[in-house]
Chain A
Amino acid sequence: MLGEFSHQRMVAVARKEFLHIIRDPATLFFALFIPVLELFMLGYAIDTNVRFVATVVFNQCRTEESKRMIRMFENSKDFRVIKEVYSDAEMNSMIVSGKAQVAIKIPEDFSRQIEAKRSAQILVLVDGSHSSVAGVALNVSNAIALQESLKQYFSERTMLIESRPRILFNPDTRSANFFIPGLMVVMCQMMAIMLSANAIVREKEKGTLEQLFMTPVRASELILGKLIPYLVLTLVEFGTILFLMWSVFQVPIHGYVSTLVGLTFPFTLAFLGMGLYISTRVDTREAAGQMAMGTMMPSIFLSGYIFPLDSMPTFFWYVAFIFPTTWLIDAARGVILRGAGWSELWLHAVVLWGMGIASFALAAAKFRKRLS
């Protein structure tokens, strides 16, 4: 029947779109291989934990106490003494040249001050150009100084309070566990938006859209038929990264994969819709690519994928929740690392489905308007 949604027409479009994907190995390779490459880069090469910071020592005191102090720094595993220096100038040049990030100077009167029950000082120079290294160096050196002071103060008596932190869910604080769930989400986003933005612009560029408009095919059939293959491809990609994460990088999945898929589906829908919207606005693939990049960048930076949400200024913290990416990354880490289920993530599900449906409906309406 004319005038009604035709399943046959939609299937015809979907089949054709699958053929386009198969016939364009470059795009397929790019879409599937690059994420895997990035996965291995992130999984093996990147460790954001600060360990064994290169440190130089300038010990003017040379007493047993001063040497014990330095050993304490070394034993913390956060510092690695690479050299002992014998002048201020040498100490400074080690920092400026970047050979060491931290310098510890123990003045001549260190032991004498302690004997005299006066405050003994040690100087800790920290290179601030690596902010995370600087932060850790500062915290650890403060902690060591505090611990040492308390010990001196209480002498042989036991400590009154001792903090024993235990890290839940990711006990080794492995970066892979933190990054790969986020990477999975970001890659799905990139793929969904890039593929769908190109799908219609490519037909515009080649002039084939004009021919399609002359046929009875409806906007809804065209849109659904085009996006089904990309939805499948994106979910395959998601599954591949999930599998590699679990098998190669040994990140345990504590929750249910079905929960994850149930949340990824509306997320993909949201970005397919966004890509479709882009393709109604521009006429060339270059322009579509740039617009897709433009929407992707802020959502990557603000989503908590790399930079933790909690350290953002309040304004940006609110902005971050506009992006579906933020919601899915949070949910993915929840499911994979903490074993979260629907009872914890129902709000994420509601928001993602809302965003998915809204973005898709908006794009389809816009597209239909352009068509007729």
Chain B
Amino acid sequence: MVAPCIQCGTCTASCPASHAMDLSPRRIVAALRAGQRDTVLSSRSLWLCASCYACVVRCPSGIPFTDVAYALKREAARTGVDDRRGSALARAFVRVADRLGRSAETELLLRYWLSTNPLRAIAALPLAFRLWRRGRLSLFGRGIVGRQDLQRMMAALERPGSGA
């Protein structure tokens, strides 16, 4: 996917978060082509990609870097070198969405804070209160009716021979 890169740096220049990354998007692509996969997978850059696709629409070589970042996020989680906060939030999201069929903001954030830094929950209380006063915060999410169907679908995806 990254072979046609010409190392022009348009991705890095377009990225609104690249200044906070240890490896910029351009350098990630260079490292991938140089076979330095471990360097890439252990960088703190991957979860700073917020999937805004600015790099993708500008890349002169047509490299979909956002999708490259998605694939690297998944690989980093699988290979165990990954303990980033972004990854913790994404995994908390998946747990909530799998359980209810929908996201539920309060449960998602509580799960995230419990798995990272519970003290963060205290810092969030003033904003939570302002939202609650305006009816914009609820403690519990509602699950969908077809929860069991959805779980059957997910199970079918995992079955050997299903091609997944």
Q: Do A and B bind each other?
A: no
